[in-house]
Structure 1
């Protein structure tokens, strides 16, 4: 029996969830008040489908298993999982999540794609079954990147998070259950730290956007794609591993190299960043860059699976 994902809000992230679910043989019902949403979504799925085919489609996968409806009430009917993707405004998310909570069966999980808000804050206006409203934060492009951060709130029971883990695994995701709720969860807090430092380097005239991206692509990024931060530094300690690395390089953590606060987004800094990115894009449209990124990620995901096969059981250890 096929499963149904209900998607509320069809921006980049919502459309990413739609493409992933379709590629995994799910039915998808979508709601977005924008009358142009169906056309945009189908164009998005068409652009992503070639990469999804290379990555591997589930039996029965088809873009035709998507339909749009005209109300939240119609969207949640028959849902096995509901994914909310409205703009990152707490008041708006609370309103929409309260409507979803009131309209859907109480056992149906509601995941929010929020990148920053805590689930307890999202649950506050929900009165029917607030515990099933959790954070389910993915990464762009959602249809290829497998990580989803699952965070429960004050009203969430352990069995609801376990249900969430099972559902997102059925979408070929790698769920990471965050131990306690915190603004920004895990991965975005790490990315924001790098982003702040990158903005300082541009602002201070140390490097261009292209040079900073090259430092990541040809340096730390290559290692991170397989081992992440801690295991990479473990190797830096030689045969003695992390303990030796911390003894040798730990004192450098106190040096004033990094800047904890983001620089002021002045017009000059904005212009530098925008002009740098436009230079890097070299006139290529975003859709072309999307396809280039996706082709690369399909091959990279195959390499990660080849060289880190034990990650198959990672979900049970987090």
Structure 2
């Protein structure tokens, strides 16, 4: 985690898994956090979430002054956003609800403050639709679970958003020790989720067609492509597959296979039979372990993996902007 030179305040609206992840990340980076969620047990759930994540955050490295006690819950959205340096909206993924909440945040917040939506699919222009004060500062700021450990956040501006505002937002999220990726134009699902959905569709087809179990498919990713992707991603991995001639040779050699009917362009129908197969497979893999235990196991792994990948990330070799 990065060292913070001055106190910053994050306002979090909606405290589900993603909202709580933002809270934990901000606390670990020595920010003050003010949260609002109308659910009666929201504060209790959030504090339990942070307690479960804190050991991993300590291993990853806390900023000076980081403390769980810097979190405060308030009774209204308007109170939460007053004086905030950054606002993060995390309400359920329903467009009408997000538009309503974002319009209320826009009306209550100082007009220079960036309002990020954690939406995984909606376009920012649609999210800005009902905002009247400063709609351009309402952007997509899409993180990845667990938010408190994974550094990527996709930033997407809408029709009212300027490049200068996006650059300012990049700096805001960098202060939370994140690696912002500004998406060049708005599109449903942004970048990473569209890639993950493609793999998810194929995985469902493989289960549905009886080709593999959920455990076997996960093993194919964990012990194969997933290890390479954690360093190089898709394109550079295929560049190496072309040998000394790189990507050009790879495309000449394997490009025709793209025309073969290997992939399924549409997701399979979620029949009761398919749902049962997927659920039963996942329950077998979980082996009765509660989600909190699986979270801790994942987090312990990610802390060690992050320590390794940081040694190989571009800035470690003076190659900023290239992977």
Q: Report the TM-score, using the length of structure 2 for normalisation.
A: 0.97
Query: 1:274-313 counterparts in 2 under 5 A?
Result: 274-310=279-315
Query: 1:75-90 counterparts in 2 under 5 A?
Result: 75-90=80-95
Q: CA deviation at 1:33?
A: 0.1
Q: Alignment partner of 2:261: what SS? A: coil
CA RMSD, 1 decimal: 1.3
Q: Give the 3 Å change call, closer, same or farther, for CA 9–53 of structure 1 in structure 2.
A: same
Q: Which runs of 5+ in 1 are unaligned?
A: none
Q: CA deviation at 1:64?
A: 0.3
Partner of 2:3: none
Query: 1:162-177 counterparts in 2 under 5 A?
Result: 162-177=167-182
Q: Give the 3 Å change call, closer, same or farther, for CA 313–263 of structure 1 in structure 2.
A: farther
1:222-276 per-position Cα deviation (integer Å, ceiling 9, x unaligned)? 0001100000000000000000000000000000000010000000000000000
1:26-69 per-position Cα deviation (integer Å, ceiling 9, x unaligned)? 00000000010000000000000000000000010000000000
Instruction: Verify: 1:264 aligned to 2:269, yes or no.
Output: yes
Q: Give the 3 Å change call, closer, same or farther, for CA 260–105 of structure 1 in structure 2.
A: same
Q: Give the distance between the partners of 1:9 and 1:297, measured in 2 at CA.
A: 25
Partner of 1:61: 66
Q: Alignment partner of 1:226: what SS? A: coil
Instruction: Verify: 1:139 aligned to 2:144, yes or no.
Output: yes
Partner of 1:182: 187
Q: Which runs of 5+ in 2 are unaligned?
A: 1-5
Query: 1:1-318 counterparts in 2 under 5 A?
Result: 1-310=6-315
Q: Give the distance between the partners of 1:216 and 1:246, measured in 2 at CA.
A: 23
Q: CA deviation at 1:308?
A: 2.4
Q: Give the distance between the partners of 1:160 and 1:195, measured in 2 at CA.
A: 34
Q: Give the 3 Å change call, closer, same or farther, for CA 175–271 of structure 1 in structure 2.
A: same
Q: Alignment partner of 2:232: what SS? A: helix
Q: Alignment partner of 1:175: what SS? A: strand
The number of aligned residues is 318
Q: Give the distance between the partners of 1:231 and 1:66, measured in 2 at CA.
A: 41
8 Å CA contact 1:174–1:315 kept in 2: the answer is no
Q: Give the 3 Å change call, closer, same or farther, for CA 239–314 of structure 1 in structure 2.
A: closer
Q: CA deviation at 1:309?
A: 4.0
Q: CA deviation at 1:307?
A: 2.0
Q: CA deviation at 1:87?
A: 0.2
Q: Give the distance between the partners of 2:40 and 2:107, measured in 1 at CA.
A: 24
